[in-house]
A and B are shown apart, each in its own frame.
Chain A
Amino acid sequence: MFKSPFNEAQTVSIQQMIQSSEVVFVSDFFVEDYAGGAELTTEALIESSNLKVCKVRSNQLTMDLLSSGVSKYWIFTNFSGMNKELIPAIIANLRYSVVEYDFKYCNYRSPEKHEAHTGSPCDCHDQIVGKMVSAFFHGAESLFWMSEKQKKVYEDLFPFLAQKKSSVLSSIFSKSFFEHVTTLDTENKNDSYLIVGSESWIKGVEDSVKYCEENGLEYEVVSGVSHKDLLEKMASSKGLVFLPRGGDTCPRTVIEAKILGCELILNDNVLHRDEIWFASDNIRDTVDWVMTGPNRFWEEVNRNVNKQPTISGYTTTLNCIRQNYPFKASIESLLGFCDQVVVVDGGSDDGTIEALNEIAASDDRVIVHVQERDWESKRFAVFDGLQKALARALCTGEFCWQQDSDEVVHENDYKKVKDLVKQLPKSMDLIALPVLEFWGSKGKLRVDVNPWKWRLSRNRPHITHGIPAKLRVFDEEGLLYSKQGSDGCDYVRSDNYEPIPFVNFYTPEAHTLRERAMAGDENALQNYIGWIQQATSSLPCAIHYSWYDIERKIRTYKNYWSTHWQSLYDISQEDTVENNMFFDKKWSDVTEEDIANLSARLEDEMGGWIFHSKVDFSKPTPSIPVTDSIHPESISSWRQKK
Chain B
Amino acid sequence: MRVLFVIPCFNASENIEKLGASIIGQNSEEWDAIIIDDMSEDNTYEVASKFRNDKFTVIKNTEKKYALRNIVETSRSFSDMDDIIIAVIDGDDYLCNRDAVSLLIEEYKKGHEVVWTAHRWDVNNLNISRSMPGNVDPYSWPWSSSHLRTFKADLLNKVDDKNFKDVNGNWFKRGYDQALMLPLLHVSKSRSYIDEICYVYNINSVSIPYRDYEEQSQISTINIVRARGYLG
Contact = CB atoms under 8 A, between A and B. Distances in A.
A371 B137 contact: no
A474 B140 contact: yes
Interface stretch (A31-39, A296-304, A476-484, A531-539): A476-484
Contacts of A382: 140
A159 to B, nearest CB: 7
B139 to A, nearest CB: 8
B167 A138 contact: no
Contacts of A476: 135
Q: Which of A371, A472, A478, A495 has the most CB of B within 10 A?
A: A478
B133 A393 contact: no
A464 B220 CA distance: 10
Interface in A121-161: 138, 159-160
Contacts of B215: 461
Contacts of B228: 371, 386, 390
Contacts of A464: 223, 226-227
Given A138-B210, A159-B206, A394-B167, A461 B220 contact: yes
B137 A474 contact: yes
Contacts of B135: 474, 476-478
A163 B212 contact: yes
A392 interface: yes
Main secondary structure of the interface of A (DSSP, over half): mixed
Contact of A369 (B140, B167, B216, B226): B167
A241 interface: no
B143 interface: yes
Contacts of B137: 474, 478-480
A389 B140 CA distance: 13
A408 B224 CA distance: 26
Contact of B226 (A389, A462, A474, A478): A389
Contacts of A438: none
A494 interface: yes
B85 interface: no
A495 B215 CA distance: 13
Interface string A546-574: 00000000000000000000000000000
Interface in A344-374: 369, 371
Nearest to B218: A461
Interface residues of A, number: 28
A394 B224 contact: yes
Nearest to A462: B219
Nearest to B212: A163
Interface in A363-420: 369, 371, 382, 386-387, 389-390, 392-394
Interface string B118-133: 0000000000000001
Nearest to B232: A374
A15 B28 CA distance: 73
Nearest to B175: A461
B218 to A, nearest CB: 8
A497 interface: yes
A478 B167 contact: no
Q: Which of A138, A390, A461, A494 has the most CB of B within 10 A?
A: A461
A461 B211 CA distance: 10
A310 to B, nearest CB: 15
Nearest to A393: B223
A496 interface: yes
A464 B228 CA distance: 13
A480 B141 CA distance: 9
A494 B222 contact: yes
Contacts of A477: 135
A494 B136 contact: no
Nearest to A383: B229
Contact of A474 (B136, B143, B216, B229): B136
Interface in B138-187: 140-143, 167
A461 B227 contact: no
Contacts of B219: 461-462, 494
Contact of B227 (A138, A386, A472): A386
Contacts of B220: 393, 461
Contacts of A159: 206
Contacts of B136: 474, 478, 480
A327 B11 CA distance: 49
Interface in A418-444: none
A393 B224 contact: yes
Contacts of A369: 167
Given A160-B210, A461-B219, A472-B140, A494 B226 contact: yes
Interface-centre pick from A138, A387, A480 (highest chain B CB count, 10 A): A480
8 pairs of A and B residues whose beta carbons are closest in the complex: A461-B219, A478-B135, A390-B227, A389-B227, A480-B140, A393-B223, A478-B136, A393-B224
14 contacts: A138-B210, A159-B206, A160-B206, A389-B227, A390-B223, A461-B216, A474-B133, A474-B137, A474-B141, A478-B133, A480-B137, A480-B140, A494-B223, A494-B226
Given A387-B227, A495-B143, 16 more contacts: A160-B210, A369-B167, A386-B228, A390-B228, A461-B215, A464-B227, A474-B133, A474-B136, A474-B137, A477-B135, A479-B137, A479-B140, A480-B136, A480-B140, A494-B219, A495-B142
Interface of A: 138, 159-160, 163, 369, 371, 382, 386-387, 389-390, 392-394, 461-462, 464, 472, 474, 476-480, 494-497
